[in-house]
Structure 1
Amino acid sequence: MSHDVRQRSAGARDSIDERRSPAPRHFRRSLAFLGAGALAVPLLAGCGSDDVTSSPLAAEDIAPVARDLVADGGTLKWAVDALPETLNTFQADADAGTGRVAQAVLPSMFRLDASGRPVANPAYLESAKVIETEPRQVVLYKLNQQAVWSDGREIGAADFLAQWRALSGKNSAYWTARNAGYDRIAKIERGDNDLQVRVTFARPYADWRSLFSPLYPKDVMGTPDAFNDGARRKLAVTAGPFKVEKVDTATKDVVLTRNTRWWGKPAKLNEIVLHAVPRDKRAAALADGSADLAEIAASDVQRIGLANREKGTGTPLQGGGRTSVKKLRSWALAHGLDAGGAHAGEKKLGRAITRYLEQQQALREVEVRKSLEPAYTQLALNGSTGPLTDERVRRAVARALDRAELARLVLTPLGLPAVPVGSHLALSGQDAYADNSGALGDQNAQEAQALLADAGWVRGGPLKEQKKGEKAAGPESHDKDVSNGGKEGEYIVGEDDGDGDGKGRHHESPGDPREHADRLAQEGKHGGAPGAYAPKGTAAPAAAPAGPLAKDGKPLALRFVLPSGPGSDTLNAVAERISAMLEQVGIRAVITKVSDESYFKDHIAAGDYDLALYSWPSSAFPATDARPVYAKPVPAADGSVNVEQNYTRVGTDLVDQLFDEAATTLDEDEARDLIRRADSRIWAAAGSIPLYQRPQLVGVRKNLVNAGAFGFRTPVYEDMGFLRKGAKVSASPGKG
């Protein structure tokens, strides 16, 4: 399972790395409906309503063409992480695949534009606006008169009413994952005619545009049985450019076909097949034609780029003579090719290289489209246990980080804007965005050390004598991992990580973030600890710390938990660089690698970590969607603590109050100001440190148009297709 953004839910089970992360239930829908816009301008520093609006940092990259240049027909094979467990986006196990299906087959009253802002969807709405505020807020929806369900029935008030009743939280027979906003509705009525729906709120709700997107038919929402079970594997009634033809668990496919009752511009494609493909198999799937579009890792970007640049094979197989196994193995390792390991013979290596070269030839028909996801990677600091319960220590960790360098480490090799994220609650381009990181302060090692000293952590303090058989100081690890240089469970940055040959333990590939980190360390930037990135024997830079800080006989050591599965290389590189930065202020990082399957459920959600890296999506509705992530944990009657989705366990009453006020004001400027004030307080508490907006890397068949890296924008499924023969597409804005 990859680690990108998913819905918020106390029971969410998403693992978290550069591919997928835990995410809000509302966010799961929101993320699925996001895209990107123009190149960025500098981030904002102010918080007032008079601030100039920011712009997205990267444009969408979808090879846009007019519909008349798109061929009629064809099947788009779209790689997804897994077959959706449910087609109901309001259930706890809904995922990104669920959202993709909903986008293509169901009504959405609002969708997101290139800047992540909600706009009315003309396919379903003529208009939607607040028509009364006193004594109660009333929103009037005027529906498109052509909008009908696939069974011929008009979309109308009965569907809105059924969805509200199912999601209001008043009937526990409905197994809903969220009811935010729906719980504020007092009643829903037919307007002056069948095309009008009046929604009256019991309490003001600023994020009313988040509701009824998607909208399910009353057939799904009308009874608990239909809601709980009926929409998990089929949607008999839909209302989008496509309909659900079948969900095939044997082939791991969801097949969407044209909806003949669609009243809008007809879909260009005959079919869209969402097919489950593991992340480490995406390049091969693009090569053999089993995928036309797939989110890919940075290593696959390099491979596709190489395929489109290389003239000949450039391998030891060239020429008519024999070659040595050593040369074949060296070539395979240099190209990141799993060719049978150290014991592979010449024939086995030769066959593997031949298959690789055949795939490279096929990958010349594929290109990479790239943007930035509507999500950011953060360093999470668990404030519920250990040294990080002290806000001064959390702030010291934050002040030790060079966030700009971490952004460059990940994004510069990919040719994407390397700008640190300045908000927990929005991204550049969205209305609520402002860089509020000044509430915490920039990198400053001296300030970090002063904070630590104030908290009682001093260098050279007495340490308790370690008993025979005890672990070295640092949080205890119960997980085993034999992939990091032969050590089980933990890897302490600063220890010798070489493999005995003086070359270090990593095999670097061109453009690998770790290679960039090595270069930074060897240039002496930020004092990389010896062995952390530089080869064994590299001298430590000047002013390296004499030793770890200590308090009450214990060194200041933090357990840094990371996933170990495929696709986690970028997170590991970032974690190692962070650890080297912390080492410079006297904080020792103990990196513990765990399985992808247990990373979120057993560590992040369970609070079994000190430091961790995972991602959150941004939302067009932060007052609703972000509140559970930053709400102050509340003790329950049974002695447990309800953290909602605040996995750092750091929160304040003031932040909760600001979220509540932002959710109830109907003045958009005031709501934006309240959100920015809340973000400043979240920065000051230092429970999580936003680092960089996540790269969105998509391998795409070159003749596939109006599809790719969507950024913030909601995809337009009816316009996707393959280029007509003889037609040409101009270079996408994300290239270069």
Structure 2
Amino acid sequence: MFKLLATPPERGLSERRRIRMASGASQQQRKVAAGVLGTLALIAAACASGPTSVAPAPSTASAAVDFNPQPYENIKDGGILRVPGSVIEQGNPFHADANLPAHRLWFWYNADAITYSPTGEVQYNPDYFSDVQVGVVGGNQKVTIRINPKATFNDGTPIDYRALEATWRASNGSNKDFFAGDIVPYSRITSVHAGQDDKEAVIEFTGVDTAWSALFTTFLHPKAAADPATFNQAYLGNVQPDWGAGPYTVTRYDAKVGDITFERNTKWWGKKGKLDKRIVVGLDYQASINAFRNGELDYITASAADQLRQISAVPGTEVRKGGSPFQSYLFLNSKSPLLADLVVRKAVLESIDRRQIVSIYLQGLDYQEPLPGSALLYSFQHGYQDNVSQVIKFDPEGAKKDLDDAGWKVGADGIREKDGKRLELGYTLFGDDPLGKAAAGAFTKQLEPIGVKLTAKPTAASDFDSVVSGRKFDVFLSGNRSADPFGARYLDTFYGSTSNQNLSGAGTPELDAKIKAVSEIADPEAQIEKANEVEREGLALCGFVPLHSGPSIYGVSQGLANVGATIFGTPLPETVGWQK
């Protein structure tokens, strides 16, 4: 559907209540503290000696998968799956403020009409879309979807063309009061209407959109898009089970701590979910690891070597490791007073030694990858180009000269000043992740030599949505996970000046016009080629820089099927469970 925002590590960062710990918890906490100190010591040494020396990286990142794929017939009936979770502020995935945890919550109690294989092939779910026909007439694309006659929302409303129409109207930008996140591709749809009957939806486009499937992987209940207030507020700290559909529904939700219980949906018309329950427990990350070690969770992720060691030692645990369609970025707020100056933004990004940051995150994981060169495509995808290296160089000396020429003079304490303003920036640090703290320390050290003071501002992970949506930051690190393989369609997300999802806010009307032109290219090869060209122009605005992807690492209880590193793959909820 779109790129999905997440705080790093990709999953599990929240300031939440802690569950009961076993008697060994204090010892475990000492191990964690030792790991943090060791990482910080490594950073201090690296920063003192300049760029970190690392082994040559491979030419592409890993595209490996590891999730124990099993057909429906190989999954046991029954059982409970216990997983960590976090508080969801905006639960509407079509809203610009929705993040990755919100998408995952939605996936378990709403329609999953279109999914993708690990390598990105489109998969239509016949329980929703029983037939799909795509054609081009007079240069314009028409998609005709036959909706399963049994498909019904939990409140009894038939799922028909009106659901797709409501989703399009809320997302196409015609009414700016709908704070939608993916406007440009929806704006190319001219109409959504009934075909032979209400159970046939006809979607008509201006031109051709080969990535159209990403627009309707799921959809809204028409009531959820009835007006902007409902669209923007109905899912704020809330779930709407009556507006959902699927093999599971929400039977318990505690918005304050993030606890959610999913149980089989008695109104579901397709194959029943294999699990009796999926219980999500809102925990901060270290509490999640402790809970997994104590046998209170069946699933956990790891993003650091110390975390991997902790979960690997748990009896009955299988570690699954693969590639990741995830990428972290250093964002600069172009709307903040000091960073409104392109010269300052460029100097900051040219002083970031990305290889050193990557070495922090990948230390001890036995994994290497090239520095990411694009926010649109991953290095393992066809059409990928390293656009970053052509635009943003690691050049601290050049950064100093640019700041000198722009009138930023070095003060007695080494911090630059201009027009009575000191070049002091805040680094918003979310949550309690040790690697996040380590990276903040590295960024601070890297900017000192050019006369920029960067001060870490610890912030609860629960404030993530409000900080991002209100653009209440100077600098911060976050990331996106791709929910589909169509990278070229995300130009507006990262570089559009009016995009609600452009976190840096950097953009120009001229670049907007070029982004729109890319969206209108019908040939996928030509579109990707042009998208790379336009991305280089977007990167030159210095609103952000990609940092790393890293591996996807999961610790799961043995026998858990269809869970793990899937790249673009999305096993349907009814297929998740315990292998026979």
TM-score normalised over the length of structure 1: 0.62
Is residue 78 of structure 2 the alignment partner of residue 73 of structure 1?
Answer: yes
Q: Which residue of the partner structure matches residue 104 of structure 1? A: 108
Aligned to 1:426: 377
Cα 1:454–1:139 shift into 2, 3 Å: same
Which one-letter code corresponds to 1:438 in the other structure? S
Aligned to 1:712: 568
Which of the numbers 282, 286, 291 marks the counterpart of 1:285? Answer: 291
* Conserved 8 A contact 1:138-1:198: yes
Shift of 1:661: 0.9
Distance (Å, rounded) in 1 between the aligned partners of 2:509 and 2:79: 55
Q: Equivalent of 2:62, from 57, 61, 70?
A: 57
Give the AA of the match of 1:592.
Answer: A
CA 1:287–1:442 in 2, change beyond 3 Å: closer, same or farther?
Answer: same
Structure 1 134/394 Cα, relative in aligned 2: closer, same or farther at 3 Å?
same
**CA 1:288–1:126: 2 relative to 1, 3 Å:** same
Report if the CA contact (8 A) 1:282-1:296 is conserved: no
Equivalent residue number for residue 613 of structure 1: 477
- TM-superposed deviation, 1:219: 6.0
Instruction: Look up the SS of the partner of 2:108 in the other structure.
Output: helix
Cα distance between partner residues in 2 of 1:192 and 1:72: 39
Structure 2 residue aligned with 1:242? 248
Matched, 1:561 2:568: no
Q: Is the 8 A contact 1:369 1:709 kept in 2?
A: yes
Q: 1:18 aligns with which of 9, 32, 40?
A: 9
CA distance in 2, matches of 1:241, 1:597: 31
1:630 and 1:645 in contact (8 A); partners too: no
Cα distance in 2 for partners of 1:215, 1:262 equals 17
Q: What secondary structure sits across from 1:138 in the alignment?
A: strand
Shift of 1:692: 0.5
Contact conserved, 1:79 with 1:295, CA < 8 A, in 2? no
Q: Structure 1 pair 218/579, CA: closer, same or farther in 2 (3 Å)?
A: closer
- Structure 2 CA distance for partners of 1:229 and 1:59, relative to 1, 3 Å: same
Paired with 1:598 and 1:227, the residues of 2 have a C-alpha distance of: 22
Residue in 2 that maps onto 1:401: 352
Residue 631 of structure 1 corresponds to 496
The count of residues paired between Structure 1 and Structure 2 equals: 531
Whole-angstrom CA distance in 1 between matches of 2:179 and 2:397: 52
- 1:282 partner amino acid: S
Alignment partner, residue 165 of structure 2:
161
Task: Please tell me whether residue 698 in structure 1 is matched to residue 557 in structure 2.
Answer: no
Residue correspondence of structure 1 range 457-468 to structure 2 within 5 A: 463=411
Amino acid at match of 1:57: S
Q: How much does 1:282 deviate?
A: 0.4
| Contact 2:10/2:479 (<8 A) preserved | no
Q: 1:285: how far off?
A: 1.9
Quote the Cα distance in structure 2 between the aligned partners of 1:75 and 1:164: 36
Q: Which amino acid aligns with 1:678?
A: V
Q: Is the 8 A contact 1:217 1:238 kept in 2?
A: yes
Evaluate the alpha carbon distance shift between residue 270 and residue 681 of structure 1 in structure 2; reply closer, same or farther with a 3 A threshold. Answer: same
Query: Could you tell me which residue of structure 1 aligns to residue 540 of structure 2?
Result: 684
Which residue of structure 1 lines up, in the alignment, with residue 30 of structure 2?
A: none
What is aligned with 2:451? 587
Amino acid at match of 1:104: W
* C-alpha deviation, 1:391, in angstroms: 3.8
Q: Which residue type is aligned with residue 9 of structure 2?
A: E
Kindly report which structure 2 residues correspond to 1:345-384, keeping only aligned pairs within 5 A, or say none: 363-384=314-335
CA RMSD across the alignment: 4.1
Q: Is the 8 A contact 1:659 1:674 kept in 2?
A: no
What displacement does 1:81 show? 0.9
Shift of 1:85: 5.3
Residues in 2 aligned to 1:431 and 1:66: alpha-carbon distance in whole angstroms: 29
CA distance in structure 2 between the partners assigned to 1:61 and 1:411 by the alignment: 19
Match of 1:304 in 2: 311
The correspondence of residues 155-234 of structure 1 with structure 2, limited to 5 A, is 155-165=159-169, 167=171, 181-192=185-196, 196-201=200-205, 207-218=211-222, 232-234=238-240
Q: Describe the shift of the 1:147–1:433 C-alpha distance in structure 2 as closer, same or farther (beyond 3 A).
A: farther
**1:566 deviation in Å?**
1.4
1:267 match? 273
Mapped contact 2:271–2:574 kept (Cα < 8 A): yes
Q: 2 CA distance for matches of 1:21 and 1:66?
A: 28
Question: What are the Cα deviations for residues 347-370 of structure 1, in whole angstroms up to 9, with x where unaligned?
Answer: xxxxxxxxxxxxxxxx32334434
Q: 1:556 to 1:423 in 2, by over 3 A?
A: farther
CA shift for structure 1 position 250: 8.7
Give, in angstroms, the shift of residue 676 of structure 1. 0.9
How far did residue 454 of structure 1 move? 4.5
8 A Cα contact 1:381 1:611, kept in partner: yes
Asked whether 1:578 is paired with 2:443, we answer yes
The change in CA–CA distance for 1:611 and 1:368 in structure 2 (over 3 A counts) is same
**How far, CA to CA, are the matches of 1:134 and 1:149 in structure 2?**
36
Change in CA separation of 1:41 and 1:147 when aligned onto 2, cut-off 3 Å = farther
Looking at structure 2, the residues matched to 142 and 617 of structure 1 have their Cα atoms a distance apart, in angstroms, of 30
Q: Is the 8 A contact 1:304 1:367 kept in 2?
A: no
**Alpha-carbon distance change, 119 to 668 in structure 1, aligned in 2, over 3 angstroms:** farther
Q: 1:111 to 1:429 in 2, by over 3 A?
A: farther
Give the Cα–Cα distance (whole angstroms) in 2 for the partners of residues 189 and 605 of structure 1: 33
Kindly state the Cα deviation for residue 276 of structure 1 after the two structures are TM-superposed. Answer: 1.8
Unmatched segments (≥5 aa) in structure 2? 14-56
Which letter maps to 1:278? D
Aligned partners of 1:149 and 1:608: how far apart in 2?
A: 38
Provide Cα deviations, 1:610-667, integer angstroms capped at 9, x if missing partner.
543222344645565441442237xxxxxxxxx8444434323443222111222322
- 1:113 aligns with one of 117, 120, 127: 117
What corresponds to 1:131 in structure 2? 135
TM-score, normalised with respect to structure 2: 0.76
State the Cα deviation string for residues 389-422 of structure 1 (Å, max 9, x = none): 5544443443333323322221242233332111
